[in-house]
Structure 1
Amino acid sequence: MSRRIDLDTFLRTDPRDVGCDEAMELLHVYAERYAADPEAARCRYPGIDAHLRACGPCTTDFDGLLALITA
């Protein structure tokens, strides 16, 4: 899946974004909660949600993990 990156969006940083290291540390927890209730996951982990909206590689990992959980 290829997404066109909007440079303006790319250069804007969400202050809630936890970064790749913290997102990867909790991605499995976030994915489990997201599979059960996406809105609850977004509310409980706003920093991870913000990061996944900004980071393509982490989003790819999340999508793969979510696919495994929901398969």
Structure 2
Amino acid sequence: MNHREQLERVLATDPADVGCEQAMALLHVYVELIETDPDAVRKYPGIAAHLAACGPCGEDFQGLLEAVTAGV
């Protein structure tokens, strides 16, 4: 990724995005909410925005969600 691509990615970031640190700190709570509350995405837009924008955090979310739904 070149400097221009990096700049464009930063400028395209949703201002609601809470960032990796906060998203990861609350990931387990958010996954449980997703399972029980259909409005969780709307109630926590900063986490939802981050998980949609950050590939590694989004992958962690998907993996944890799959583990929870599978009963692991």
The structure with the largest alpha-carbon Rg is 2
TM-score, normalised via structure 2 length: 0.78
Residue deviations 1:13-33, cap 9 Å, x none? 100000000000001111011
TM-score, normalised via structure 1 length: 0.79
Unpaired runs of 5+ in structure 1?
A: 1-6
Q: 5 Å matches for 1:1-71?
A: 11=9, 12-37=12-37, 39-71=38-70
Structure 1 runs (4+) deviating above 3 angstroms are: none
Aligned-CA RMSD value? 1.4
Number of aligned residue pairs: give it.
62
Q: Percent identity?
A: 58
